[in-house]
Amino acid sequence: GGAALDSYAYDLAVVSAPEPGTACVTQEANCVLELDLTNLGSDPWSPLETVDGRVGSVRLVAWWRAGTETVPQIVDLPRSVFPGGIQRLTVVLAPPSSIPEGDARVELGLVQEGMPGFPGPSDGLPALELVIAS
């Protein structure tokens, strides 16, 4: 597996996102998000296919939250992101079937598999207010 990063500093800038209150329909793939991730740390971020197993890989997470439910949607990085590097990601937000229709909050952040270093949900991450519809 991989090693923990020395620094978990990053910037996540939303380039374009669904308007607040947009009804996201999984089958229509109508909620598309464009993000710029900037590695402000001192270590490169390795995508899933470059590490042995999953541990150590850096991935984007969109945490879908509604009521007491929190369900992650994982998005793999397409390539390594070196310190100072910026990676633009286009993400089709897919509402999880385990969360009921209605208002939902989507919090955006990074995870390093098997390591606790990045901030998690409810740590003041950028968020979108959307609606889950069928």
> What are 92's two structure tokens?
């089709």
> What are 84's two structure tokens?
């100072």
Predicted confidence at residue 29, as pLDDT, reads 86
Predicted confidence at residue 123, as pLDDT, reads 66
Give the distance from CA 15 to its chain's centroid: 14
Mean pLDDT for the chain overall? 88
CB 15 within 8 A of CB 38: no
Measured from the Cβ of residue 22, the count of other Cβ atoms closer than 10 Å reads: 16
- The one-character DSSP state at 47 is P
Q: Which residues of the chain have pLDDT under 50?
A: none
Specify burial of residue 80 (Cβ count, 10 A radius: 0-12, 13-18, 19+).
middle
Measured from the Cβ of residue 91, the count of other Cβ atoms closer than 10 Å reads: 17
Strands 23-25 and 127-133, bridge-based pairing:
parallel
**Residue recorded with tokens 């397409």:** 78
Q: How far apart are CA 91 and CA 5, in angstroms?
A: 25
> What are 3's two structure tokens?
């090693």
Q: How far apart are CA 56 and CA 119, in angstroms?
A: 16
Predicted confidence at residue 51, as pLDDT, reads 76
Q: pTM of this prediction?
A: 0.87
Predicted confidence at residue 18, as pLDDT, reads 94
